[in-house]
Amino acid sequence: MNGSPNPSSSMPTPAPRHVCGIVPPWLLERIAELDAPQLARAASAARYSLLATRPYRFPEPGSERATGPVRSATAGTRPVGTPERSIHDARRTETLPGTLVRSEGEPATTDAAVSAAYDGLGDTHALFAEAFARDSIDGRGLPLLATVHYGDDYDNAFWNGEQMVFGDGDGEVFRSFTSSLSVIGHELAHGVTQYTANLVYEGQPGALNEHVSDVFGALVEQHARGEDAASASWLIGEGLFTDEVEGNALRSMLAPGTAYDDDVLGKDPQPAHFDDYLETTDDNGGVHLNSGIPNRAFATLAVALGGNAWERAGLIWYDTLVGGLSERADFATFAAATIAAAAARFGVDSEEHTAVGQAWALVGIEPSV
């Protein structure tokens, strides 16, 4: 394939270049062009969603907001590893954060989206705390903020540099974006990348940014369910599509290009090998497309190693992310960094070190020297 797809401390200063949405713009553009009466709501919602996701203006380095959301008065007093969540309701507007509807420790409401967001933030916090000894997404106990019911049938979920935002979906193509735990974990993981490697959101670094979020989104779901690598689905966004769509999820990590094949949406265009890397100006240089290549490497590695994916493969990827990776790392650089991380943690003669190299060879990535 080539061309565009059918559908565009001493912590690093957080400065992602774009809103990181789970649904790529080219897929929304395809839905927006639909003229079928039975999908009129979906088409209208997609057109609205393309306009409603605006680039976030990130603060200048050194400003009081440059290190993320304002911390609450209790942020420094909570035990390490304990989340501090707040869920807001935008009430179908684009106002952020909206009305506070549930704070940490408060009982569940009758709103399913509020409950799913609250639980998903907790599950994400738990993975990073228990598997990687990381205290929230910034490593320093950052409170987790989310807004549900954003916009009018808004077809996306995103991390904007400060908080999570979830739309309700259009009901014809997409369900509520709180319905998939891998989506919640994926978007919050953009925050982890923001506070660590801060990978530039374009081209190969951008595809790695999306890849890292897919990795940790999948691990959040597996950790919460107690699934090992062999029994996991390795699907990102499973449950987002309505029953009208011929597809299981937005992406398949283990088999990129197979997540959906629908008369309306088309076929999943993700490549699974570097020979099929997509050179495109859409989607910030194909960040949601080419992420399929490293996704396959990671999922294959995790299955080959066996057991819980977060215990070996996940540790190697986490070590890579926090180990001084360049913000403009390409696939070859990232592959080399994971091999070095495997050697550092498990040894150069280890099964893990060998398996990482084999996983990258499978997808045609030659690590840089």
DSSP 209-241: HHHHHHHHHHHHHHHHHT--TTT---EESTT-B
pLDDT at 79: 72
Containing 284, the helix (H) or strand (E) segment is helix 283-286
The residue-averaged pLDDT of 335-355 equals 98
Higher-pLDDT residue of 126, 74: 126
- pTM of the full structure: 0.90
Residue 53: the pLDDT is: 63
The pLDDT, as a whole number, for residue 54 is 52
Mean pLDDT of the region 80-100? 94
Domains of the chain: 20-194 (3.10.170.10), 203-362 (1.10.390.10)
Which residues lie closer than 8 Å to 307 by C-beta, 6 or more apart?
228, 229
- The mean pLDDT of the chain is 90
Give per-residue pLDDT as tens, 185-235.
999 999 999 999 999 999 999 999 999 999 999 999 999 999 999 999 999
Confidence of residue 37 (pLDDT cuts 50, 70, 90): confident
366 catalytic residue (yes or no): no
Return the bridge partners of 20, or none.
Answer: 159
Residue 191: the pLDDT is: 95
DSSP 115: H
Closest CA to 168 of 77, 356, 42: 42
Q: Which of 162, 288, 352, 353 is catalytic?
A: 288
Residue 103 binned pLDDT confidence (cut-offs 50, 70, 90): very high
Say what the pLDDT of residue 336 is: 98
- The CB density around residue 56, as the number of other CB atoms within 10 Å, is 18
Asked whether residue 360 carries a pLDDT value surpassing 60, the answer given is yes
Identify whether 311 is a catalytic site residue: no
What percentage of residues in the chain have a pLDDT greater than 70? Answer: 88
Which one of the listed residues 187, 210, 221, 352 is annotated catalytic? 187
